[in-house]
Amino acid sequence: MSVDQRPADTPPSAEPAETASSEGVPAQIKLVLGVLLVAAFVMILNETIMGVALPELMEQFSLTAATVQWLTTGFMLTMAVVIPMTGLILQRFTTRTVFIAAMTLFTVGTILAASAPVFGVLVAARVIQASGTAVMLPLLMTTVMTFVPADRRGRTIGFITIVIAVAPAIGPTFSGFILSQLTWHWMFLSVLPIAVLGLVLGALKIQNLGETRPVKFDLLSALLSAVAFGGLIYGLSSIGEAAAGAHTPVPPYAAISAGAVSLALFVLRQLRLQRTDSALLDLRVFRSRSFTVGVVMLLVSMAALFGSLILLPMYLQNVLELTTFQTGLVVLPGGLAMGLTGPTVGRLYDKLGPRPLVIPGSFGVFGALALLTLLDQASPVWFVVVIHVLMSLSLSLLMTPLMTSSLGSLKMELYSHGSAVLTTLQQVAGAAGTAVFITLMTTGTKASLESGAEAVTATADGIHTAFLWGAGMAVIAVAAAFMVRKPAVDGQEPALAAH
Protein backbone atom coordinates (compact mmCIF):
# COMPACT_ATOMS: atom_id res chain seq x y z
CA MET A 1 0.00 0.00 0.00
CA SER A 2 1.36 3.43 -0.89
CA VAL A 3 0.40 6.85 0.36
CA ASP A 4 1.34 10.44 -0.42
CA GLN A 5 4.08 11.30 2.02
CA ARG A 6 3.74 15.10 1.69
CA PRO A 7 2.46 16.57 4.96
CA ALA A 8 -0.51 18.89 4.93
CA ASP A 9 1.54 21.73 6.42
CA THR A 10 4.33 21.50 3.86
CA PRO A 11 5.46 24.98 2.79
CA PRO A 12 5.01 25.95 -0.84
CA SER A 13 7.54 24.06 -2.91
CA ALA A 14 10.40 25.75 -4.69
CA GLU A 15 9.97 26.49 -8.36
CA PRO A 16 11.32 23.71 -10.59
CA ALA A 17 14.20 24.59 -12.88
CA GLU A 18 12.13 24.10 -16.01
CA THR A 19 10.02 27.13 -15.07
CA ALA A 20 12.42 29.01 -12.82
CA SER A 21 14.22 32.11 -13.99
CA SER A 22 17.76 31.56 -15.19
CA GLU A 23 18.87 34.80 -13.51
CA GLY A 24 20.09 32.92 -10.47
CA VAL A 25 19.58 30.13 -7.96
CA PRO A 26 17.07 31.01 -5.19
CA ALA A 27 18.56 31.51 -1.73
CA GLN A 28 16.48 28.63 -0.33
CA ILE A 29 17.94 26.24 -2.91
CA LYS A 30 21.48 27.49 -2.27
CA LEU A 31 21.03 26.80 1.44
CA VAL A 32 19.70 23.29 0.81
CA LEU A 33 22.51 22.52 -1.64
CA GLY A 34 25.11 23.79 0.83
CA VAL A 35 23.84 21.49 3.58
CA LEU A 36 23.65 18.55 1.14
CA LEU A 37 27.22 19.20 -0.08
CA VAL A 38 28.61 19.20 3.47
CA ALA A 39 26.71 16.00 4.28
CA ALA A 40 27.87 14.26 1.10
CA PHE A 41 31.48 15.33 1.74
CA VAL A 42 31.65 13.87 5.25
CA MET A 43 29.91 10.68 4.08
CA ILE A 44 32.29 10.07 1.18
CA LEU A 45 35.27 10.95 3.39
CA ASN A 46 34.08 8.33 5.86
CA GLU A 47 33.72 5.80 3.04
CA THR A 48 37.41 6.14 2.09
CA ILE A 49 39.15 6.26 5.49
CA MET A 50 38.87 2.57 6.33
CA GLY A 51 41.45 1.04 3.96
CA VAL A 52 44.50 2.38 5.78
CA ALA A 53 43.13 1.18 9.13
CA LEU A 54 42.59 -2.47 8.18
CA PRO A 55 46.06 -3.71 9.30
CA GLU A 56 45.63 -2.12 12.73
CA LEU A 57 42.12 -3.55 13.07
CA MET A 58 43.44 -7.01 12.14
CA GLU A 59 45.82 -6.79 15.07
CA GLN A 60 43.28 -5.18 17.43
CA PHE A 61 40.62 -7.86 16.91
CA SER A 62 42.99 -10.77 16.00
CA LEU A 63 41.43 -11.24 12.55
CA THR A 64 42.56 -12.55 9.19
CA ALA A 65 42.79 -10.25 6.18
CA ALA A 66 39.76 -11.93 4.59
CA THR A 67 37.64 -11.31 7.69
CA VAL A 68 38.62 -7.69 8.30
CA GLN A 69 37.92 -6.93 4.63
CA TRP A 70 34.20 -7.22 5.43
CA LEU A 71 34.39 -3.68 6.81
CA THR A 72 34.78 -2.43 3.25
CA THR A 73 32.86 -5.25 1.56
CA GLY A 74 29.84 -4.82 3.83
CA PHE A 75 29.79 -1.09 3.19
CA MET A 76 30.06 -1.61 -0.55
CA LEU A 77 27.33 -4.26 -0.68
CA THR A 78 24.94 -2.10 1.35
CA MET A 79 25.50 0.75 -1.09
CA ALA A 80 24.82 -1.63 -3.99
CA VAL A 81 21.52 -2.73 -2.45
CA VAL A 82 20.21 0.70 -1.41
CA ILE A 83 21.26 2.96 -4.31
CA PRO A 84 18.99 1.36 -6.99
CA MET A 85 16.00 2.05 -4.72
CA THR A 86 16.75 5.76 -4.38
CA GLY A 87 14.85 6.58 -7.57
CA LEU A 88 11.63 5.46 -5.89
CA ILE A 89 12.60 6.84 -2.47
CA LEU A 90 13.19 10.34 -3.83
CA GLN A 91 9.82 10.35 -5.58
CA ARG A 92 7.83 8.96 -2.66
CA PHE A 93 9.30 10.95 0.24
CA THR A 94 10.03 14.64 0.72
CA THR A 95 13.52 16.14 0.56
CA ARG A 96 13.46 16.93 4.27
CA THR A 97 12.33 13.42 5.23
CA VAL A 98 14.97 11.71 3.08
CA PHE A 99 17.78 13.98 4.31
CA ILE A 100 16.96 13.61 8.01
CA ALA A 101 16.59 9.83 7.67
CA ALA A 102 19.92 9.51 5.81
CA MET A 103 21.83 11.75 8.21
CA THR A 104 20.30 10.04 11.25
CA LEU A 105 21.37 6.63 9.96
CA PHE A 106 24.87 7.91 9.23
CA THR A 107 25.20 9.62 12.63
CA VAL A 108 23.93 6.58 14.55
CA GLY A 109 26.29 4.34 12.58
CA THR A 110 29.21 6.67 13.32
CA ILE A 111 28.48 6.70 17.06
CA LEU A 112 28.18 2.91 17.06
CA ALA A 113 31.44 2.52 15.11
CA ALA A 114 33.37 4.84 17.42
CA SER A 115 32.26 2.85 20.47
CA ALA A 116 32.29 -0.65 18.93
CA PRO A 117 33.58 -3.16 21.52
CA VAL A 118 33.78 -6.10 19.09
CA PHE A 119 34.33 -6.57 15.37
CA GLY A 120 30.74 -7.63 14.63
CA VAL A 121 29.40 -4.37 16.04
CA LEU A 122 31.85 -2.41 13.89
CA VAL A 123 30.66 -4.21 10.75
CA ALA A 124 27.03 -3.52 11.69
CA ALA A 125 27.90 0.14 12.25
CA ARG A 126 29.47 0.39 8.80
CA VAL A 127 26.33 -1.12 7.25
CA ILE A 128 24.18 1.49 9.01
CA GLN A 129 26.51 4.25 7.80
CA ALA A 130 26.31 2.93 4.24
CA SER A 131 22.50 2.93 4.34
CA GLY A 132 22.55 6.69 4.86
CA THR A 133 25.45 7.35 2.50
CA ALA A 134 23.77 5.55 -0.40
CA VAL A 135 20.91 8.04 -0.53
CA MET A 136 22.84 11.30 -0.23
CA LEU A 137 24.53 11.66 -3.64
CA PRO A 138 21.38 10.79 -5.66
CA LEU A 139 19.44 13.24 -3.44
CA LEU A 140 22.01 15.95 -4.14
CA MET A 141 22.08 15.33 -7.91
CA THR A 142 18.28 15.19 -8.17
CA THR A 143 17.92 18.45 -6.22
CA VAL A 144 20.38 20.19 -8.56
CA MET A 145 18.69 18.94 -11.72
CA THR A 146 15.21 19.80 -10.47
CA PHE A 147 15.73 23.27 -9.03
CA VAL A 148 18.89 24.77 -10.59
CA PRO A 149 18.33 26.55 -13.94
CA ALA A 150 19.89 24.77 -16.92
CA ASP A 151 22.42 27.53 -17.62
CA ARG A 152 23.84 27.18 -14.10
CA ARG A 153 23.82 23.42 -13.63
CA GLY A 154 27.35 22.91 -14.91
CA ARG A 155 28.99 25.09 -12.29
CA THR A 156 26.73 23.67 -9.56
CA ILE A 157 27.61 20.08 -10.45
CA GLY A 158 31.21 21.29 -10.59
CA PHE A 159 30.98 21.89 -6.85
CA ILE A 160 29.68 18.34 -6.46
CA THR A 161 32.88 17.21 -8.20
CA ILE A 162 34.78 18.72 -5.28
CA VAL A 163 32.94 16.35 -2.96
CA ILE A 164 33.42 13.33 -5.23
CA ALA A 165 37.13 13.98 -5.83
CA VAL A 166 38.57 15.75 -2.79
CA ALA A 167 36.99 13.56 -0.10
CA PRO A 168 38.54 10.31 -1.44
CA ALA A 169 41.82 12.14 -2.06
CA ILE A 170 42.24 13.32 1.52
CA GLY A 171 40.64 10.23 3.08
CA PRO A 172 43.76 8.01 3.18
CA THR A 173 45.98 10.92 4.23
CA PHE A 174 43.51 11.94 6.92
CA SER A 175 43.16 8.42 8.33
CA GLY A 176 46.92 7.85 8.09
CA PHE A 177 47.54 10.96 10.19
CA ILE A 178 44.86 9.97 12.74
CA LEU A 179 46.30 6.46 13.10
CA SER A 180 49.83 7.81 13.53
CA GLN A 181 48.71 9.88 16.52
CA LEU A 182 45.58 8.23 17.99
CA THR A 183 43.59 4.98 17.99
CA TRP A 184 41.27 3.91 15.17
CA HIS A 185 38.23 5.05 17.17
CA TRP A 186 39.18 8.65 16.38
CA MET A 187 38.60 8.12 12.66
CA PHE A 188 34.91 8.05 13.51
CA LEU A 189 34.98 10.48 16.43
CA SER A 190 36.60 13.11 14.21
CA VAL A 191 33.76 13.06 11.65
CA LEU A 192 30.99 12.78 14.24
CA PRO A 193 30.75 16.53 15.03
CA ILE A 194 30.38 17.34 11.32
CA ALA A 195 27.68 14.68 10.97
CA VAL A 196 25.77 16.02 13.98
CA LEU A 197 26.11 19.60 12.71
CA GLY A 198 24.80 18.56 9.29
CA LEU A 199 21.84 16.77 10.87
CA VAL A 200 20.95 19.79 13.04
CA LEU A 201 21.32 22.27 10.17
CA GLY A 202 19.21 20.07 7.92
CA ALA A 203 16.48 19.69 10.53
CA LEU A 204 16.38 23.46 11.07
CA LYS A 205 16.90 24.79 7.55
CA ILE A 206 15.80 22.27 4.93
CA GLN A 207 12.22 22.65 3.78
CA ASN A 208 10.31 20.28 1.56
CA LEU A 209 11.10 20.86 -2.11
CA GLY A 210 8.90 19.80 -4.98
CA GLU A 211 6.05 17.32 -4.92
CA THR A 212 5.93 13.66 -3.91
CA ARG A 213 4.12 10.90 -5.77
CA PRO A 214 2.39 7.85 -4.23
CA VAL A 215 4.66 5.35 -6.02
CA LYS A 216 4.12 1.69 -5.18
CA PHE A 217 6.99 -0.32 -3.70
CA ASP A 218 7.62 -3.61 -5.50
CA LEU A 219 9.24 -6.10 -3.12
CA LEU A 220 10.26 -8.54 -5.87
CA SER A 221 12.11 -5.76 -7.71
CA ALA A 222 13.95 -4.82 -4.52
CA LEU A 223 15.02 -8.43 -3.92
CA LEU A 224 16.15 -8.92 -7.52
CA SER A 225 18.04 -5.62 -7.38
CA ALA A 226 19.81 -6.61 -4.17
CA VAL A 227 20.98 -9.95 -5.59
CA ALA A 228 21.83 -8.46 -9.00
CA PHE A 229 23.96 -5.49 -7.98
CA GLY A 230 25.17 -7.04 -4.74
CA GLY A 231 26.26 -10.20 -6.56
CA LEU A 232 27.95 -8.34 -9.40
CA ILE A 233 29.87 -5.95 -7.17
CA TYR A 234 30.86 -8.63 -4.66
CA GLY A 235 31.93 -11.02 -7.40
CA LEU A 236 33.92 -8.41 -9.30
CA SER A 237 35.58 -7.19 -6.12
CA SER A 238 36.54 -10.76 -5.18
CA ILE A 239 38.20 -11.58 -8.50
CA GLY A 240 41.39 -9.78 -7.59
CA GLU A 241 41.60 -11.52 -4.20
CA ALA A 242 41.01 -14.92 -5.81
CA ALA A 243 43.65 -14.22 -8.47
CA ALA A 244 46.12 -13.48 -5.67
CA GLY A 245 45.31 -16.83 -4.06
CA ALA A 246 43.07 -15.55 -1.25
CA HIS A 247 40.03 -17.55 -0.12
CA THR A 248 36.64 -15.93 -0.64
CA PRO A 249 33.44 -17.12 1.14
CA VAL A 250 31.56 -17.23 -2.17
CA PRO A 251 33.42 -18.06 -5.42
CA PRO A 252 33.63 -14.85 -7.49
CA TYR A 253 32.17 -16.33 -10.65
CA ALA A 254 29.27 -17.88 -8.75
CA ALA A 255 28.40 -14.45 -7.35
CA ILE A 256 28.77 -12.83 -10.78
CA SER A 257 26.59 -15.50 -12.41
CA ALA A 258 23.86 -15.10 -9.78
CA GLY A 259 24.09 -11.34 -10.17
CA ALA A 260 23.87 -11.47 -13.97
CA VAL A 261 20.81 -13.76 -13.94
CA SER A 262 19.11 -11.59 -11.31
CA LEU A 263 19.95 -8.47 -13.30
CA ALA A 264 18.27 -9.91 -16.40
CA LEU A 265 15.16 -10.75 -14.37
CA PHE A 266 15.28 -7.30 -12.74
CA VAL A 267 15.36 -5.58 -16.14
CA LEU A 268 12.41 -7.64 -17.40
CA ARG A 269 10.49 -6.82 -14.22
CA GLN A 270 11.15 -3.08 -14.59
CA LEU A 271 10.10 -3.08 -18.25
CA ARG A 272 6.81 -4.63 -17.21
CA LEU A 273 6.24 -2.26 -14.28
CA GLN A 274 7.02 0.79 -16.43
CA ARG A 275 3.72 0.22 -18.24
CA THR A 276 1.92 1.18 -15.02
CA ASP A 277 4.49 3.80 -13.96
CA SER A 278 5.50 1.74 -10.90
CA ALA A 279 9.07 0.61 -11.67
CA LEU A 280 11.58 0.57 -8.83
CA LEU A 281 14.23 1.84 -11.28
CA ASP A 282 12.77 3.39 -14.43
CA LEU A 283 14.88 2.20 -17.36
CA ARG A 284 13.29 4.65 -19.79
CA VAL A 285 16.27 6.86 -19.00
CA PHE A 286 18.21 4.79 -21.56
CA ARG A 287 15.91 5.99 -24.33
CA SER A 288 17.92 9.20 -24.19
CA ARG A 289 20.92 8.98 -26.51
CA SER A 290 22.84 11.59 -24.51
CA PHE A 291 22.22 9.70 -21.28
CA THR A 292 23.34 6.36 -22.72
CA VAL A 293 26.52 7.77 -24.29
CA GLY A 294 27.30 9.63 -21.07
CA VAL A 295 26.84 6.48 -19.01
CA VAL A 296 29.23 4.53 -21.25
CA MET A 297 31.91 7.20 -20.90
CA LEU A 298 31.40 7.48 -17.15
CA LEU A 299 31.69 3.70 -16.78
CA VAL A 300 35.04 3.65 -18.59
CA SER A 301 36.26 6.71 -16.68
CA MET A 302 35.28 5.33 -13.28
CA ALA A 303 36.85 1.96 -14.09
CA ALA A 304 40.11 3.74 -14.97
CA LEU A 305 39.90 5.93 -11.86
CA PHE A 306 39.28 3.12 -9.38
CA GLY A 307 41.75 0.80 -11.08
CA SER A 308 44.52 3.38 -10.88
CA LEU A 309 43.58 4.27 -7.29
CA ILE A 310 44.18 0.63 -6.38
CA LEU A 311 47.40 0.10 -8.36
CA LEU A 312 49.22 3.37 -7.70
CA PRO A 313 49.44 2.82 -3.91
CA MET A 314 50.67 -0.74 -4.55
CA TYR A 315 53.35 0.60 -6.89
CA LEU A 316 54.39 3.36 -4.50
CA GLN A 317 54.61 1.05 -1.47
CA ASN A 318 55.79 -2.24 -2.99
CA VAL A 319 58.08 -0.92 -5.74
CA LEU A 320 59.23 2.52 -4.59
CA GLU A 321 58.95 1.43 -0.91
CA LEU A 322 57.12 4.53 0.35
CA THR A 323 55.19 4.52 3.63
CA THR A 324 51.39 4.63 3.78
CA PHE A 325 51.44 8.29 4.80
CA GLN A 326 53.89 9.19 2.01
CA THR A 327 51.68 7.37 -0.47
CA GLY A 328 48.71 9.45 0.65
CA LEU A 329 50.71 12.63 0.10
CA VAL A 330 51.72 11.55 -3.42
CA VAL A 331 48.12 11.04 -4.59
CA LEU A 332 46.77 14.07 -2.71
CA PRO A 333 47.67 16.73 -5.36
CA GLY A 334 45.75 14.87 -8.06
CA GLY A 335 42.61 14.59 -5.98
CA LEU A 336 42.78 18.24 -4.98
CA ALA A 337 43.38 19.31 -8.59
CA MET A 338 40.40 17.29 -9.77
CA GLY A 339 38.08 18.70 -7.14
CA LEU A 340 39.18 22.32 -7.21
CA THR A 341 38.90 22.58 -11.00
CA GLY A 342 35.33 21.22 -10.89
CA PRO A 343 33.56 24.61 -10.63
CA THR A 344 35.71 26.06 -13.45
CA VAL A 345 34.92 23.09 -15.68
CA GLY A 346 31.26 23.54 -14.78
CA ARG A 347 31.28 27.18 -15.85
CA LEU A 348 32.97 26.21 -19.12
CA TYR A 349 30.26 23.59 -19.67
CA ASP A 350 27.55 26.21 -19.20
CA LYS A 351 29.22 28.33 -21.92
CA LEU A 352 30.58 25.74 -24.35
CA GLY A 353 28.62 22.54 -23.82
CA PRO A 354 30.17 19.10 -23.17
CA ARG A 355 32.04 18.21 -26.36
CA PRO A 356 34.89 20.80 -26.15
CA LEU A 357 35.61 19.45 -22.67
CA VAL A 358 35.11 15.69 -22.90
CA ILE A 359 37.19 15.24 -26.07
CA PRO A 360 40.43 16.62 -24.56
CA GLY A 361 39.51 14.95 -21.27
CA SER A 362 39.26 11.51 -22.88
CA PHE A 363 42.58 12.00 -24.67
CA GLY A 364 44.10 13.09 -21.35
CA VAL A 365 42.94 9.92 -19.58
CA PHE A 366 44.36 7.82 -22.41
CA GLY A 367 47.66 9.72 -22.26
CA ALA A 368 47.94 9.39 -18.48
CA LEU A 369 47.34 5.64 -18.58
CA ALA A 370 49.89 5.31 -21.39
CA LEU A 371 52.46 7.25 -19.32
CA LEU A 372 51.77 5.01 -16.31
CA THR A 373 53.07 2.06 -18.34
CA LEU A 374 56.53 3.71 -18.19
CA LEU A 375 56.81 3.41 -14.40
CA ASP A 376 59.51 1.11 -12.98
CA GLN A 377 61.77 0.84 -9.92
CA ALA A 378 63.81 3.89 -10.97
CA SER A 379 60.92 6.27 -11.65
CA PRO A 380 61.10 9.49 -9.60
CA VAL A 381 58.18 10.30 -7.31
CA TRP A 382 57.61 13.67 -9.00
CA PHE A 383 56.91 11.84 -12.27
CA VAL A 384 54.19 9.79 -10.58
CA VAL A 385 52.66 12.98 -9.14
CA VAL A 386 52.63 14.66 -12.57
CA ILE A 387 50.95 11.68 -14.24
CA HIS A 388 48.35 11.39 -11.49
CA VAL A 389 47.57 15.12 -11.69
CA LEU A 390 47.19 14.78 -15.49
CA MET A 391 44.74 11.91 -15.06
CA SER A 392 42.82 13.77 -12.35
CA LEU A 393 42.50 16.95 -14.42
CA SER A 394 41.40 14.89 -17.42
CA LEU A 395 38.76 13.11 -15.35
CA SER A 396 37.55 16.50 -14.13
CA LEU A 397 36.99 17.48 -17.78
CA LEU A 398 34.85 14.34 -18.14
CA MET A 399 32.83 13.97 -14.96
CA THR A 400 31.08 17.34 -14.63
CA PRO A 401 30.07 17.65 -18.32
CA LEU A 402 28.98 14.02 -18.57
CA MET A 403 26.86 14.06 -15.42
CA THR A 404 25.27 17.37 -16.38
CA SER A 405 24.51 16.52 -20.01
CA SER A 406 23.34 12.98 -19.20
CA LEU A 407 20.82 14.01 -16.55
CA GLY A 408 19.91 17.19 -18.44
CA SER A 409 18.69 15.11 -21.38
CA LEU A 410 15.96 13.53 -19.25
CA LYS A 411 12.47 14.72 -18.43
CA MET A 412 12.20 16.14 -14.93
CA GLU A 413 10.18 13.20 -13.58
CA LEU A 414 13.07 10.88 -14.50
CA TYR A 415 15.82 12.86 -12.73
CA SER A 416 15.70 10.73 -9.57
CA HIS A 417 15.88 7.50 -11.59
CA GLY A 418 18.69 8.88 -13.75
CA SER A 419 20.67 9.82 -10.62
CA ALA A 420 20.09 6.34 -9.18
CA VAL A 421 21.24 4.67 -12.42
CA LEU A 422 24.38 6.80 -12.65
CA THR A 423 25.35 6.21 -9.02
CA THR A 424 24.63 2.47 -9.21
CA LEU A 425 26.62 1.95 -12.39
CA GLN A 426 29.52 3.99 -11.00
CA GLN A 427 29.69 1.48 -8.15
CA VAL A 428 29.66 -1.42 -10.63
CA ALA A 429 32.28 0.28 -12.82
CA GLY A 430 34.53 0.90 -9.83
CA ALA A 431 34.34 -2.76 -8.82
CA ALA A 432 34.89 -3.89 -12.41
CA GLY A 433 37.86 -1.57 -12.89
CA THR A 434 39.44 -2.77 -9.67
CA ALA A 435 38.87 -6.42 -10.62
CA VAL A 436 40.31 -6.03 -14.12
CA PHE A 437 43.38 -4.05 -13.03
CA ILE A 438 44.18 -6.33 -10.08
CA THR A 439 43.72 -9.48 -12.16
CA LEU A 440 45.94 -8.15 -14.95
CA MET A 441 48.57 -7.07 -12.44
CA THR A 442 48.50 -10.45 -10.71
CA THR A 443 48.77 -12.30 -14.02
CA GLY A 444 51.65 -10.10 -15.20
CA THR A 445 53.48 -10.42 -11.88
CA LYS A 446 53.14 -14.20 -11.91
CA ALA A 447 54.47 -14.45 -15.47
CA SER A 448 57.44 -12.26 -14.58
CA LEU A 449 58.25 -14.32 -11.48
CA GLU A 450 58.13 -17.53 -13.52
CA SER A 451 60.66 -16.03 -15.93
CA GLY A 452 63.10 -15.50 -13.05
CA ALA A 453 62.52 -11.84 -12.16
CA GLU A 454 62.90 -10.57 -8.59
CA ALA A 455 59.77 -9.79 -6.59
CA VAL A 456 60.00 -5.99 -6.93
CA THR A 457 60.71 -6.20 -10.66
CA ALA A 458 57.87 -8.68 -11.12
CA THR A 459 55.44 -6.36 -9.32
CA ALA A 460 56.49 -3.46 -11.55
CA ASP A 461 55.99 -5.68 -14.61
CA GLY A 462 52.52 -6.67 -13.45
CA ILE A 463 51.51 -3.05 -12.89
CA HIS A 464 52.87 -2.18 -16.34
CA THR A 465 50.64 -4.88 -17.88
CA ALA A 466 47.56 -3.58 -16.07
CA PHE A 467 48.08 0.03 -17.13
CA LEU A 468 48.76 -1.03 -20.71
CA TRP A 469 45.35 -2.70 -20.88
CA GLY A 470 43.85 0.30 -19.10
CA ALA A 471 45.12 2.55 -21.87
CA GLY A 472 43.42 0.23 -24.33
CA MET A 473 40.14 0.59 -22.42
CA ALA A 474 40.47 4.37 -22.57
CA VAL A 475 40.25 4.22 -26.37
CA ILE A 476 36.52 3.47 -25.88
CA ALA A 477 36.13 6.76 -24.02
CA VAL A 478 37.99 8.63 -26.78
CA ALA A 479 35.66 7.21 -29.44
CA ALA A 480 32.53 7.89 -27.38
CA ALA A 481 33.61 11.49 -26.67
CA PHE A 482 32.88 12.48 -30.27
CA MET A 483 29.26 11.29 -29.81
CA VAL A 484 28.54 13.51 -26.81
CA ARG A 485 26.26 16.49 -27.32
CA LYS A 486 24.47 19.02 -25.17
CA PRO A 487 20.70 18.41 -24.80
CA ALA A 488 18.94 20.45 -27.47
CA VAL A 489 16.22 21.64 -25.10
CA ASP A 490 16.43 21.94 -21.34
CA GLY A 491 15.47 18.62 -19.86
CA GLN A 492 13.60 17.51 -22.98
CA GLU A 493 15.54 15.35 -25.40
CA PRO A 494 13.26 14.44 -28.32
CA ALA A 495 14.37 10.80 -28.33
CA LEU A 496 12.97 10.28 -24.85
CA ALA A 497 9.51 8.76 -24.73
CA ALA A 498 6.79 10.52 -22.78
CA HIS A 499 6.68 9.54 -19.12
In a domain, 479, yes or no: yes
- Distance between CA 200 and CA 205 in Å, rounded? 8
- The pLDDT confidence band at residue 487, using thresholds 50, 70 and 90, is low
Average pLDDT over residues 282-309: 83
Which domain-ending residue is among 253, 279, 305? Answer: 279
What are the pLDDT digits (tens) for 437-458?
Answer: 877 888 788 888 888 778 788 8
Specify whether 326 is located in the same domain as 236: no
Query: Are 314 and 375 within one domain?
Result: yes
Q: Which of 149-153, 280-284, 404-408 has the lowest mean pLDDT?
A: 149-153
Considering the domain boundaries, does residue 263 fall inside one?
yes
Whether 293 and 416 map to the same domain: the answer is yes
Average pLDDT over residues 85-93: 83
Q: What CATH number should be reported for the domain holding residue 433?
A: 1.20.1250.20
Range with the largest mean pLDDT of 309-318, 363-372, 472-481: 363-372
pLDDT at 129: 94
pLDDT digits (tens, 9 = 90+) for 112-148: 999 999 989 999 999 999 999 988 888 888 888 778 8
Q: Is residue 41 part of a domain?
A: yes
On whether residue 3 sits in a domain, the answer given is no
Whether residue 9 is contained in a domain is answered as: no
Do 375 and 422 belong to one domain? yes
- Residue 23 pLDDT level (bands cut at 50, 70, 90): low
Task: Provide the pLDDT for residue 359.
Answer: 92
- CA-atom Rg of the chain in angstroms: 22
Number of domains in the chain: 3
Both 326 and 444 in a single domain?
Answer: yes
Residues 238 and 376 in one domain: no
Residue numbers of the domain that contains 66: 24-215
Q: Quickly state the pLDDT bin for 210 (edges 50, 70, 90).
A: low
Shortest CA distance to 58 belongs to which of 149, 184, 236, 243?
184
pLDDT at position 2 is 40
Question: 225 and 208 share a domain?
Answer: no
Q: Cα separation of 164 and 170, whole Å?
A: 11
pTM of the predicted structure, to 2 decimals: 0.76
Same domain, 144 and 203: yes
- Are 271 and 288 within one domain? no
**259, 298: one domain:** no
Q: What are phi and psi of 494, to 5 degrees?
A: -55, -30
Same domain, 296 and 386: yes
Closest CA to 484 of 401, 418, 414, 427: 401
DSSP per position, 117-159 = SSHHHHHHHHHHHHHHHHHHHHHHHHHHHHHS-GGGHHHHHHH
Coil, strand, or helix at residue 375?
coil
